Amino acid sequence: MRALVKKEAAKGLWLEDVPQPEPGINDVLIKVRRTAICGTDMHIYNWDDWAQRTIPVPMVVGHEFVGEIVDVGSNVNDFKPGQIVSGEGHVVCGRCRNCMAGRRHLCNDNSGIGVDRPGAFAEYLTLPMSNVWEHAPGIDLDVAALFDPLGNAVHTALQFDLLGEDVLITGAGPIGSMAAAVCRHAGARHIVITDVIDERLALAAKLGATRTVNVANESLVDVQEELGMREGFDVGLEMSGNPQALNDQISHLCHGGKIAMLGIPSENTAIDWSRVIFNMLTLKGIYGREMYETWYKMSVMIQTGLDISPVITHRMPYSDYETGFAAMNDGSASKVVLNWDD
If binding is defined by CB under 6 A, does position 10 make contact with ligand NAD? no
Smaller CB separation from ligand NAD, 40 or 339: 40
Peptide bond just before 118 cis, omega within 30 deg: no
If binding is defined by CB under 6 A, does position 203 make contact with ligand NAD? no
If binding is defined by CB under 5 A, does position 92 make contact with Zn ion? yes
| H or E element in which residue 194 lies | strand 191-195
Q: Are 72 and 81 in contact (CB under 8 A)?
A: yes
Cα–Cα separations (whole angstroms), residue 34 to 145, 179, 206, 313: 6, 22, 23, 15
Least distance from Zn ion to the Cβ atom of residue 75, Å = 20
Which residues are tagged catalytic?
A: 40, 43
The site partner of 224 among Zn ion, ligand NAD, none (C-beta below 5 to 8 Å per kind) is none
If binding is defined by CB under 6 A, does position 176 make contact with ligand NAD? yes
Rounded distance, CA 260 to CA 183, Å?
A: 13
Residue from 59, 188, 250, 286 binding ligand NAD (CB under 6 A):
286
The site partner of 21 among Zn ion, ligand NAD, none (C-beta below 5 to 8 Å per kind) is none
> Strands 132-134, 84-87: parallel, antiparallel or unpaired by DSSP?
antiparallel
Peptide bond just before 318 cis, omega within 30 deg: no
If binding is defined by CB under 6 A, does position 249 make contact with ligand NAD? no
Residue 112's nearest CA partner among 135, 89, 142 is 89
Q: Which stretch binds ligand NAD (CB under 6 A): 67-75, 125-133, 219-227, 242-250?
A: 242-250
Residue from 88, 195, 234, 290 binding ligand NAD (CB under 6 A):
195
Beta-bridge partners for 316 = 338
If binding is defined by CB under 5 A, does position 106 make contact with Zn ion? no
Rounded distance, CA 242 to CA 188, Å?
A: 24
Residue nearest to ligand NAD (CB): 173
Chain residues that interact with ligand NAD, rule: CB under 6 A = 39, 152, 170-176, 194-197, 200, 215, 239-242, 244-245, 262-264, 286-288
